């Protein structure tokens, strides 16, 4: 099952998609790894929400990560929040612990150039 919504998704899904499903996505998608209790994720939430509301047609896959969660390991996730921009299933951008406006602007600049 692919837990995906267009635009901002405020809830982490415990049912992570299979890596193969993400590998076969057409177009752009932003995959976010984190946890609701993570303080870095809580700080980044309004920044990520602002980013995703600017691009309401970009799917946002929000995955609950942690011990025993295979998808995060397959993507090499070590810190949260970890946002990975995919194009046709391939990683083209990554932001880790996005908590500053400069990082938001960098992400927006990248999305502006491709979306």
Domain of residue 20, residue span: 5-114
pLDDT at 105: 76
User: How many domains does the chain fold into?
Assistant: 1
Q: Which residue has the higher pLDDT, 43 or 102?
A: 43
Supply the angle between the helices 39-54 and 101-114 in degrees, to the nearest 10.
30
| Percent with pLDDT over 70 in the chain | 93
Q: What is the pLDDT of residues 4-26, one digit of tens each?
A: 667 788 889 888 899 999 999 99
pLDDT at 4: 61
CATH number of 13's domain: 3.40.30.10
Q: What is the pLDDT of residues 68-104, one digit of tens each?
A: 899 999 999 999 999 999 999 999 999 998 777 677 6
């Amino acid at each position: 099952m692919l837990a995906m919504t267009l635009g901002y998704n405020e809830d982490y899904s415990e049912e992570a998609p299979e890596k193969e499903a993400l590998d076969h996505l057409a177009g752009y998608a932003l995959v976010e790894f984190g946890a609701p209790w993570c303080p870095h994720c809580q700080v980044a939430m309004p920044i990520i929400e602002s980013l995703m509301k600017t691009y309401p047609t970009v799917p946002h896959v929000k995955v609950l990560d942690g011990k025993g969660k295979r998808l995060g390991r397959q993507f090499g996730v070590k810190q949260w929040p970890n946002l990975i921009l995919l194009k046709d299933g391939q990683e083209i951008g990554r932001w880790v612990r996005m908590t500053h406006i400069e990082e938001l602007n960098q992400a927006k600049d990248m999305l502006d150039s491709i979306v």
